[in-house]
Amino acid sequence: MTSAPLAARLSVPSGPLFFPVTAYGPDGAVDLDTYRTHVRRGVEAGAAAVFACCGTGEFHALAPEEFEACVAAAVEATEGRVPVVAGAGYGTALAIQYARAAERAGADGLLAMPPYLVVAAQEGLLRHYTQLAEATSLDIIVYQRDNAVFTPETVIALARHPKVLGLKDGLGDLDLMQRIVSAVRTEVPEEFLYFNGLPTAELTGLAYRGIGITLYSSAVFCFAPTIAQAFHKALTTGDDATANRLLDGFYRPLVELRNQGRGYAVSLVKAGVRLGGLDVGEVRPPLQEPREDHVKQLAELVQRGHELLEGAAG
């Protein structure tokens, strides 16, 4: 059983799911004014939901009080127009603290990220996410990646929990995901949502659509919302010609550039936001900034992406 309000708002989005970067000022402190501007612009550009302080938002780098302030700022900036889902992670006790902070800040739900460091058995993972789900009134989306990889049986158990509304996949094992989708569909009558959570998820969007997963996180939306919107429309309407044109001319080269540096799934995105005229600051350690020539290549790619859209329109 899912929570109708949040699940319904996420299930058929009108645009990409927006994972904003977290803005820092020249002194390295969180810049809430710039962050509100970033979130507000994303909503005005057509974001279907705001996922605040998650991976792209450097959840790992935020102190608890910064996290709560950022989630509250995202809630303020969205003005109720779209749901706000906040990250929650680390061990169970800390994840619960972050979840309660998100609840105080007015979030609509939680993205439950993997536990810190440990590699746990399925029983332990199930206990962790169950306790997190029961710690607040917020519904949760469980994020599969790294040290949190689930069997279909565990996902069935999670899907049966009234507070767990979906699974975000950052692993990329389509065989496993197909078995999970099939098992849950067979054993759980209520709707359960799935999200493609791979970095630059558009690259694998057509493959995930093939197993029925059309929801995805879009980091590109942070810095090139027009391109991200065009791809989202193509993917959801079956316009594969446009989708493939953007994949060949923009997304595949972007992924190849992203793979040139560790942490570029965050730092390159943040550089892209700065290229667009909004100074969101640099990434915090242990991440590092992308090389200057890579930022230049990113600017050229964004220009190429817009040219592809203009060519199609012409």
Catalytic sites, residue numbers: 143, 168
Report the alpha-carbon distance of residue 38 to residue 196 in Å, rounded: 23
Tell me how far apart the alpha carbons of residues 100 and 14 are, in angstroms, rounded to a whole number.
29
Among candidate residues 165, 157, 114, 178, the one with its CA nearest the CA of residue 138: 165
**Residue 247 Cα distances to 50, 150, 170, 255, 314, angstroms:** 24, 30, 19, 10, 19
Question: Residue 148 carries which DSSP code?
Answer: B
Instruction: Specify the amino acid at residue 292.
Output: E
Contact yes or no for 215/169 (Cβ under 8 A): no
User: Cβ of 151: how many Cβ atoms within 10 Å?
Assistant: 14
What is the Cα 276 distance to its own chain's centre? 20
pLDDT in tens, the chain (314 residues): 334 489 989 987 789 999 999 999 999 999 999 999 999 999 999 999 999 999 999 999 999 999 999 999 999 999 999 999 999 999 999 999 999 999 999 999 999 999 988 999 999 999 999 999 999 999 999 999 999 999 999 999 999 999 999 999 999 999 999 999 999 999 999 999 999 999 999 999 999 999 999 999 999 999 999 999 999 999 999 999 999 999 999 999 999 999 999 999 999 999 999 999 999 999 999 999 999 999 999 999 999 999 999 877 65
Residue ranges in 146-246 assigned as alpha helix (H): 152-159, 174-187, 205-210, 220-223, 225-237, 240-246
User: In this structure, what token pair is assigned to residue 177?
Assistant: 């995901």
| Residue 277 CB neighbour total at 10 angstroms | 6
Radius of gyration for the chain, computed over Cα atoms and rounded to the nearest angstrom: 18
**What are the tokens at 175?**
């065989």
Separation in Å, CA 58 to CA 79, 87, 122, 294: 23, 10, 27, 21
Kindly state the helix (H) or strand (E) to which residue 141 belongs, with its residue range: strand 139-144
For residue 283, how many C-alpha atoms fall within 13 Å in the half-sphere facing its CB? 26
pTM metric for this prediction? 0.95
Please give the single-letter amino acid code of residue 202: E
**Per the structure block, which two tokens stand in for 89?**
């992670």
